[in-house]
Structure 1
Amino acid sequence: MTDATAARDSAATETAPTTDIAVVRTGTALADTVVLPPVPAGAPTASGPTAPATLEARAVSAWFGSHQVLERVSLTMPAGQVTALIGPSGCGKSTFLRTLNRMHELIPSAALAGEVLFEGEDIYAPQRRLTDARRRIGMVFQKPNPFPAMSIYDNVVAGLRLTGTRVSRREKDELVEESLTRAGLWKEVRDRLRQPGGALSGGQQQRLCIARALAVRPRVLLMDEPCSALDPTSTRRVEETIHELAGQVTVVIVTHNMQQAARVSQQCAFFLAEQGTPGGIVEHGPTEHIFGTPEDQRTADYVAGRFG
């Protein structure tokens, strides 16, 4: 355990059940509303597309109160590749995803142990700012969540205010077009940018949320079942967007759709929680290996649809 980990262990405000790794952080309440703060002087400015980054989880464990949902999960998510997290419901996939950009700590009673390394630096280290983690590691949720009263244009640039990024009006215009293009939505909405984002179809709203996440130039994009509420046509378009983003950003996606995992990812990790035990990774590696020649019989049974 590093000195930084030990330092934050001692600052923890709540302890979890006895284990061989110490709890590093506990949750705080999630606000019901989003308030866009004023952009401070000296804030970062928008720049061109950034290079994808490697993300690595080391011995990550997670709790909700006294209930442990993950135990010592370690996984490397290579830069510029799509890593799919698969497994039955309740095995901790979405919880693991939320630990990767510090969303887990927003949940009341949540606690975490282990490290999440972004290009070799722990995002939970005491000197690391929460806003830096959220800006570098973006997130797209299961249900499309555009700000309904905001225009399509304002939805895209909302993240700039939330992360305190300073841009000129010309830069905003260019960023909106670029982000919507990268999300595969520009041609469909370019003539109605001032219309409400909530008026779009479900699939378009999800791609708008992807564009909003991309506008702050993340190097990693987390996606929690982004197609589960979409029809097949919208799902195909989101998958096409993921293919186009591969190489530009590192993508980590939770999905229950085995065909989708096989189509969009280069790396795959199979999670499982058995007989009331915390979730963990049974097997991980190249997607073609996990689906074609898995080493663990439980993996073979799951991808073949024999359980889950």
Structure 2
Amino acid sequence: MKAVVGDAGPRRAGPGASDPATLEADGVSAWFGDHEVLERVSLTMPAHRVTALIGPSGCGKSTFLRILNRMHELVGSASLAGRVLLDGEDIYDRGRRITHARRQIGMVFQKPNPFPAMSIYDNVTAGLKLGGVKAGKEDKDWLVEECLTKAGLWKEVRDRLRQPGGALSGGQQQRLCIARSLAVRPRVLLMDEPCSALDPTSTRRIEETIHELSGEVTIVIVTHNMQQAARVSDQCAFFLAEQGTPGVIVEHGPTEVMFGSPQDGRTADYVNGRFG
């Protein structure tokens, strides 16, 4: 196994290691019943980069995020059009299994959701069984250490790996969820407002984790915090739904351009706090 170097010393890459992928939405529209919530959204989310999705509540950002790993279709009334390409291959093609898409495109939710009665160790390895990945005890031990280290949690929990994940603080639980997502070796990690319920110290640690992970996994994050978007992302996409119309991308580009010299006046108004 390939050695990985981190703050806990040399470690081995666990089972199923993979490279970051470019994710591309091509003309994506989405509905709940007859209500259209997104209209022809196209966006490239490059490998090795952090893409922030910004915009007011109700403009379709979280729906778009869920479309990117096939969670949208779990809602009975939901439908969509367009394509989602993972390194050029449509994850919605007939014959492509939904579990395969979710293994490659992980999700961290707004509210931390570790398995509360399950140990910290078992929380990290839970995805292996769900994904049908076989690993021996030694490989699992390396994987737990590696993923907790990448999530910035190893030093805090290494002496209590057999304690329940639900006993951790909110910020620690969110980092545990990040470690659990990393354990199945996703190529893309989606994050839906991962810091919205956290205190400033925990938020800072999650942002540090995002920065450290960005070289190893493509990250797409929904955030309402403009300062956070400016700090953590390489590029931004500004979503807006006006006067009952479906959500669209008004503008997207490098973060420094979006915040410093946006092309659309609505973008300038939003990033400067004049609405939203």
TM-score greater than 0.5 by the shorter chain: yes
Q: How do 1:264-283 residues align onto structure 2 when only pairs under 5 Å count? A: 264-283=232-251
Give the equivalent residue in structure 1 for 2:34. 66
Measure how far apart 1:127 and its partner are. 1.7
Could you report, residue by residue, the CA deviation over 1:58-112 in whole angstroms, capped at 9, with x for unpaired residues? 0001111111100000000000000000000000000000000001111121111
Following the alignment from structure 1 to structure 2, what is the Cα–Cα distance between the partners of residues 122 and 238? 30
Structure 2 residue aligned with 1:146, among 94, 110, 114? Answer: 114
After TM superposition, the score normalised by the length of structure 2 is 0.94
In structure 2, distance between residues paired with 1:111 and 1:121: 20
Shift of the alpha carbon at 1:260? 0.1
Cα distance in 2, alignment partners of residues 126 and 273 from structure 1: 31
Name segments (4+ residues, structure 1) moved above 4 Å: none
Which residue pairs with 1:23 in the alignment?
Answer: none
SS in 2 for 1:270: strand
Q: Match of 1:11? A: none
Q: Which of residues 238, 246, 251 in structure 1 aligns to 2:214?
A: 246
Structure 2 partner of 1:262: 230
Once residues 267 and 15 of structure 2 are traced to their aligned partners in structure 1, the CA distance between those partners, rounded to angstroms, is: 42
Distance 1:48 1:157 in 2: 13
Give the 3-state SS of the residue equivalent to 2:263 in structure 1.
Answer: coil
Q: Which residue identity lines up with residue 210 of structure 1 in the other structure?
A: I
SS at match of 1:89: coil
Q: Any gaps of 5 or more consecutive residues in structure 1?
A: 1-45
- Residue identity over aligned pairs, in percent, reads 81
Is 1:195 matched with 2:195? no
Map Cα deviations across residues 103-137 of structure 1 (whole Å, 9 max, x no partner): 11111211111000000000000121111100000
Rounded Cα–Cα distance in structure 1 between residues aligned with 2:223 and 2:185: 24
Matches within 5 A, 1:1-308: 47=15, 49-308=17-276
Q: Helix, strand or coil: the match of 2:24?
A: strand
C-alpha deviation, 1:49, in angstroms: 3.6
CA RMSD of aligned residues (A): 0.7
Secondary structure (helix, strand or coil) at the match of 1:68 reads: strand
Equivalent residue pairs, number: 263
Conserved? CA contact 2:32–2:77, under 8 Å:
yes
Structure ranking higher in strand proportion: 2
**CA deviation map 1:22-78 (0-9, x unaligned):** xxxxxxxxxxxxxxxxxxxxxxxx536421100000000111111110000000000
| Amino acid in the other structure paired with 2:259 | F
1:48 & 1:274 partners in 2: Cα distance?
A: 44
Match of residue 3 from structure 2: none
- Residue identity matched to 2:224: H
Q: Give SS of 2:229's match.
A: helix
- Unmatched tracts of structure 2, length 5 or more: 1-13
Stretch deviating more after TM superposition (48-57 or 123-132): 48-57
Looking at structure 1, the residues matched to 64 and 29 of structure 2 have their Cα atoms a distance apart, in angstroms, of 9
